[in-house]
Amino acid sequence: MFEERTGKDTADITMAIFRLGIVVTFVVMVARMFDLQVLQAGRYAALANQNRLLRIESPAPRGVIYDRNGTILVRNRPSFEVALVPEDLPTDTLESEEVDEEAVEIEKILRILQADRDSEVALRMAEILFNKLGYDDFIRTVEAVNVQVSYLDDPAFVTPVTDGGRMVMAAPLEVYLPDLDKVLPLEGLVALVKRTVAIQSMGSASDPVPILDGVDRIRAFEISEDSFRIPAVRVTQVPVREYLYGDLLSHVLGFLGPIPAFAAETYRQSGYNNPNERVGLNGLEYTYQTELRGTPGVRYSERNILGIDVRTIGPEVEPVPGWNLHLTIDWRLQSIMRAALQAKMEEVGAPWAVTVAMNPQSGEILGMVSLPSYDNNIFAERIGEEYLLLEQDERRPLINYAIGGLYPPGSVFKMVTSLAGLAEGVITPETLVVDAGPIYLPNRYFPNDLTQAQKFVSWNHKNGVVHGRINVESALALSNDIFFYYLGGGYLEEFVGLGHVLLSKWTELFGFGEKTGIDLPGEVTSLVPTDQWKRQLFAEPWTTGDSYNMAIGQGYVLATPLQVLVETAALANGGTLYVPKVVHHMTDANGGVQRDFQPEVKRQLPVDPEDIEVVRRGMWDVVNASYGTGQVARVAGVEVAGKTGTAEFCEYLPEKSDCRRDEKEFLPFHSWFSAFAPYDNPEIAVVTFVYDGGEGSAVAAPITQKILEGYFTEIAPRPQPVATEP
């Protein structure tokens, strides 16, 4: 019986093991809980938070941009975007098999948005949906509801980059793109919206799907009023940049656009979490992107497994508005400069032209015009066809030629040669050179054969004029080339010139060959030509003829208009090279100054003030002497000094295998004029450049005169007229 157990079987030990098992189970499981809930609690809490919390950034208002007098140049204008929230759309119930409730609701919404009547709305919507869905899905969706897609007549060529995730290098495919300028019938749009919403709700049904943007305030208000009928619709305000003066300042201000693909990673690492954020792509919007952007606000949205918002969780970080920029530019002067430049440019039919003004005592840019220009407002909401048109325009209006174009400076470079000669003791103010007509450099291999010699002329020889005995001051005033040939390269045994080493040295000292450092993107520079440079590039040694050309700003010397302006300003202020600046100071949203203006000296020219004064006298003569080449630049009541420049350039024509030349076989000219005023205590330095404009005195000088005249009458009028005696 029960009590008569023999102990030879497993009965008692099984019960003991069972009891032990209970204890061991408890110990093991509590140990496991301790591991999970105490030792690893932090890791699992983080995973749980990752499950439920979605970080939502609210962008900070972008900084506003003012000119130097406080005139608003750029501000933020509200634009409205219409989006649908998938979870608020009715779902297709199974009871009513015939009716698709979701499609009915979407159609109702599209009618309220006037997609059936307003072709612009329909087109824009189709474009947004096309960009969301992509080529295949778009066409499949539209054709699934028996709506015909119209295609563009010409195929586009698309190079496939990936094929099922693998990189491939295949030949471009011919693809017929749908013609988005043809209005889609309403049922097509309904199908597209339904498809887009379906794709979006795979991610989160709470996230609004944008279906229309660029809605103006009145329409947005009307749509909002209808919202009780269409609960799924959200109208959100999207700030859009508004450039009040459009193409007047577009090169300086720039524009915003989507983060470029190549920089996406860099932006992401610097805290740009929203890949759709618009960033500065050009101009100040680019340079001061970080300052203008401010700091986005942060909140967390708690979401359940279906992606539905449950609540918002703090701590909420308030967005910090971006800093406001206060420019050195005076928009009134900018307007004057633009008007003057535009009028003359159209008169001579030049393709592009530049004028830049600067305070020579500090480097503050007062105005900067590069023509042709463009209206940056067209990129305010999106970068589309207009951008492509601008990019394809032969005159390339997107380029700021003031900093992005390299040209032979011509005679405006002669001050560099002059000062180099004086400072290096090659000449004195009294050194005379005789212009008796063209000079010849003997061919080094046939020194006695005059027909093989190289001929060098001065511009005046074309008119049958020789200038006779001239010193440096009158050479500048007359812009005589013979004097500078002598000075730059010497002449036979008669005259010892600077030579290429000293020429290069002073060209560099004046800042050519390095970027000026202006706070705008897209600045270019060329190298200062040297013997070594020429040997490397052309496998030829530097010749005296090269020095001649360089001395008059031709040949291998290239400069941007801004580099010439920095040169001019250094002469105006007595020898200081400033870094040009467009932003004067920055303020935060409360008006507190965050970064104040500090003039930045790049270099002090190592020269005697008297030497500079000689060159300045020469520039004074250019405008004020009876024989000066730039007399047209005189301004009543102000002493102007300046220098004309007429720079030959070669526009290579492949069909002629030669440069473009006129009927007399002369090369075309760029027109330059650099000036500063008033002579004694300069407030403004201006450089004007007209591409293929002709003579400096005829084109660039009168433009500069108009600018200076405008400056001294409208912006900084002189208290009393001052006599203009030499």
Closer CB to other proteins, 9 or 725, in the complex: 9
Nearest to 292 by CA among 587, 79, 67, 580: 587
Contact present, 367 and 356 (Cβ < 8 Å): yes
Residue 321 corresponds to which amino acid?
P
Which residue of 52, 77, 461, 661 would you call a contact of other proteins, by CB under 8 A? 52
Contact present, 269 and 247 (Cβ < 8 Å): no
Query: Token digits for 537?
Result: 């590039």
Residue 455 corresponds to which amino acid?
K
Decide if residue 312 touches other proteins (CB under 8 A).
no
Decide if residue 22 touches other proteins (CB under 8 A).
yes
Decide if residue 276 touches other proteins (CB under 8 A).
no
User: What is the Cα–Cα distance from 724 to 706, expressed in whole angstroms?
Assistant: 18
How many alpha carbons fall within 13 Å on the CB side of residue 545?
A: 14
Least CB distance to other proteins at residue 9 (A) = 3
Contact present, 246 and 377 (Cβ < 8 Å): yes
Contact present, 234 and 85 (Cβ < 8 Å): yes
Which residue of 62, 132, 194, 303 would you call a contact of other proteins, by CB under 8 A? 303
In the DSSP assignment, the letter for residue 280 is E
Beta bridge partner(s), residue 659: 652
Least CB distance to other proteins at residue 393 (A) = 52
How many alpha carbons fall within 13 Å on the CB side of residue 607?
A: 28
Decide if residue 264 touches other proteins (CB under 8 A).
no
Query: What is the sign, positive or negative, of the torsion defined by CA atoms of 264, 270, 273, 276?
Result: negative
Query: Token digits for 131?
Result: 């960009």
Closer CB to other proteins, 43 or 395, in the complex: 43
CA geometry: angle 80, 83, 88, nearest 5 deg: 140
Decide if residue 41 touches other proteins (CB under 8 A).
yes
Site size toward other proteins, by CB under 8 A: 42
Least CB distance to other proteins at residue 44 (A) = 2
User: What is the Cα–Cα distance from 65 to 74, expressed in whole angstroms?
Assistant: 5
Closer CB to other proteins, 270 or 312, in the complex: 312
User: Interface with other proteins by CB under 8 A: which range of 48-56, 536-544, 632-640, 673-681?
Assistant: 48-56
Site for other proteins, residues 586 to 645, rule: CB under 8 A: none
Decide if residue 15 touches other proteins (CB under 8 A).
yes
Decide if residue 14 touches other proteins (CB under 8 A).
yes
Decide if residue 108 touches other proteins (CB under 8 A).
no
Burial class (CB in 10 A: 0-12, 13-18, 19+), 161: exposed
Decide if residue 40 touches other proteins (CB under 8 A).
yes
Which residue of 104, 168, 173, 310 would you call a contact of other proteins, by CB under 8 A? 310
Decide if residue 302 touches other proteins (CB under 8 A).
yes
Which residue of 306, 343, 501, 659 would you call a contact of other proteins, by CB under 8 A? 306
User: Interface with other proteins by CB under 8 A: which range of 18-26, 118-126, 444-452, 470-478?
Assistant: 18-26
Which residue of 20, 51, 343, 389 would you call a contact of other proteins, by CB under 8 A? 51
Decide if residue 44 touches other proteins (CB under 8 A).
yes
Beta strands in 172-308 (DSSP E): 173-175, 209-215, 233-243, 256-258, 278-280, 297-303
Closer CB to other proteins, 11 or 317, in the complex: 11
Closer CB to other proteins, 301 or 526, in the complex: 301
Decide if residue 34 touches other proteins (CB under 8 A).
yes
- Interacting residues of 602 by C-beta distance below 8 A, sequence separation 6+: 511, 516, 517, 566, 577, 578, 579
Decide if residue 2 touches other proteins (CB under 8 A).
yes
Decide if residue 666 touches other proteins (CB under 8 A).
no
Least CB distance to other proteins at residue 23 (A) = 8
Decide if residue 10 touches other proteins (CB under 8 A).
yes
Least CB distance to other proteins at residue 16 (A) = 10
- Interacting residues of 198 by C-beta distance below 8 A, sequence separation 6+: 86
Give SS3 for 66.
Answer: strand
Residues that bind other proteins (CB under 8 A): 1-2, 5-6, 8-12, 14-15, 18-19, 21-22, 25-26, 28-30, 32-34, 36-38, 40-41, 43-45, 47-49, 51-52, 302-306, 310
